[in-house]
Amino acid sequence: MQHTIGVIMGSDNDMEIMKEAVTTLREFGLKAEVIVSSAHRTPERTIEWARTARERGLKAIIVGAGAAAHLAGVVSAKTTLPVVGVPIDATSLGGLDALLSTVQMPGGVPVASMAIGKAGAKNAGIYVAMIIGTFDPEVAAKLDAFKKDMADKVIEKSRRIEQEWNV
């Protein structure tokens, strides 16, 4: 079964970061529905997209936003799907403003917040795959293989260092 995850960002400039989420989703066999919509410049479009996400078959939503970063909160306010925020460095504050806006949601409007930037976008894809893996054994198996591969790479790097430096 193929699952579709919504990926929304406030600006097309955010795609450089958010492509990490989309690529990661695809690695786990998940599809992405990707759009640009702003909480401030196109609020009606954003609200309608979030409100109808479940009807369109989405299983979760990843939101990338910088600066004031209200997008994840607006999306979460209009859906009952899991919402994962990716703060983006878009101002002179280095993304800290976006991080605080994403993580400081009021009670009843939850947003899981990842790290700022590309690592956060990648982790958002993995996190959503973990959610899907709770009920899809195929995705769970891909996650198991992913974790094993990460561990194997660390062990291999350690072996090289041990051989060179443990003399």
Inter-CA distances, 60 with 5, 38, 160, 161, Å: 5, 18, 40, 41
User: Does 97 appear as a known binding residue?
Assistant: no
If DSSP codes are grouped into helix, strand and coil, which group holds residue 33?
strand
Alpha-carbon span 46 to 160, nearest angstrom? 50
Mapped to the 3 state alphabet, what secondary structure does 85-106 carry? EEEECCCCCCCHHHHHHHHCCC
CB-based contact 87:69 (threshold 8 Å)? yes
User: Does 11 appear as a known binding residue?
Assistant: yes
Alpha-carbon span 103 to 72, nearest angstrom? 9
H-run or E-run covering 30 = none
**Binding site membership: which residues?**
11, 14, 41
Known binding residues for substrate:
11, 14, 41
